[in-house]
Chain A
């Protein structure tokens, strides 16, 4: 039998700090320490590094955040994987992917998955308008059933210098464009997200230019990589990922991949995107990934793989230069515009 003898120099059990208390203390210290450091060192990549550290502290993710929506098109997934799109690193575990999300309609913090559950996905109408032959408002279920679904493995590079690797299910944006039949004068595709401030608390801030809007040139939108995702990890997309329809353009920073789209408009004029209007010097229209062009407040040379904490060099166009590099060869814009 093991008998513990209390030595004179040992503190009594009664004087030990309860685990819950020291954990709370550490959390408070970390919160204020990181907050103060961010406030004081918000230059030269310090913010990105600290953000990475903070994110790394929760890289286990939360299984409860994987709430697969109950929608009529669930039977369409999973779809067959397209082997042309391979990764050079392991997939991000789904629990991590489902726990850390940017979804500005619900706030600018990462843990929005709970709030995003308020989003109602059915009925959900998609409007296609502007300079097209086939102006139509179509139910999202009908649109999904008309499109050729496939699975692709893509890297995602956030402008905040972290990255994920995600198996998306969806269809090429080019298929939707073929369905819409744009007129010859159409040069840009404007995409608009849902607007419902009763659901999305972030939209109660009237000073922000809601709804969230993003845009691509038609050349970009018809590129083979431009993808409309309706699923992740072999099932219907989670609400926090931007269900029922979201964009995935892996050679651009993540904020370009607009979530929960309700409208596609074809136009001759370049649309002004949400972030371009809000903070255009930092988050522009083009936003192509380029490690050589820093964000005004941090470096983009490296990225932190969110689930491992490993820092790896960022690649031009997030590693997709072969597929999209030609799109920008003849565009005469300063690097700070094309890559920010």
Chain B
């Protein structure tokens, strides 16, 4: 359980930093996919190919693409807040007795 707590905390922190990075370096409306393309176009292209060819085209089209078309700030903020809430929930649920 400690590992999950650390992971969620890292995810919350990392996503928050991502949101701050986007807001300070470019337009807030930039899509997650455009941001990914800007930093590592090859990995984005490879990910699309692997998912469409070896998993299922619909997973890319109906699940991942809509997320990649969302503003990066919204995605990072949502992930950050969700991870933080889950982290707090875990702490409360598995708190140590005094």
A complexed with B: yes
> Is A38's beta carbon under 8 Å from chain B?
yes
A207 in contact with B31 given A35-B55, A108-B53, A279-B41 (CB within 8 Å): yes
> Is A118's beta carbon under 8 Å from chain B?
no
| A47–chain B nearest beta-carbon distance, Å | 10
Is B60 a contact partner of A107 (Cβ separation < 8 A)?
Answer: yes
Residues of chain B in range 34-65 having any CB-CB distance to chain A below 8 Å: 34, 36-38, 41-42, 44-45, 48-50, 52-57, 60-61, 65
Is B34 a contact partner of A111 (Cβ separation < 8 A)?
Answer: no
Residues of B within 8 A of A206 (CB): 31, 33-34, 69
Query: In the bound complex, what is the Cα–Cα distance between A34 and B45 (angstroms)?
Result: 18
Is A109 a contact partner of B31 (Cβ separation < 8 A)?
Answer: no
Contacts A38-B54, A201-B61, A204-B65 given; 9 further ones with Cβ under 8 A? A31-B55, A38-B50, A54-B53, A108-B45, A108-B48, A108-B52, A204-B69, A205-B69, A206-B69
- B interface residue numbers (CB < 8 A to A): 31, 33-34, 36-38, 41-42, 44-45, 48-50, 52-57, 60-61, 65, 68-69
A109 in contact with B33 given A204-B65, A278-B45 (CB within 8 Å): no
Is A279 a contact partner of B54 (Cβ separation < 8 A)?
Answer: no
Residues of chain A in range 185-202 having any CB-CB distance to chain B below 8 Å: 201
Number of interface residues of A (CB under 8 A): 22
Is A109 a contact partner of B44 (Cβ separation < 8 A)?
Answer: no
| B79–chain A nearest beta-carbon distance, Å | 20
Instruction: Tell me which of B44, B45, B54, B68 has the highest count of chain A C-beta atoms within 10 A of its own C-beta.
Output: B54
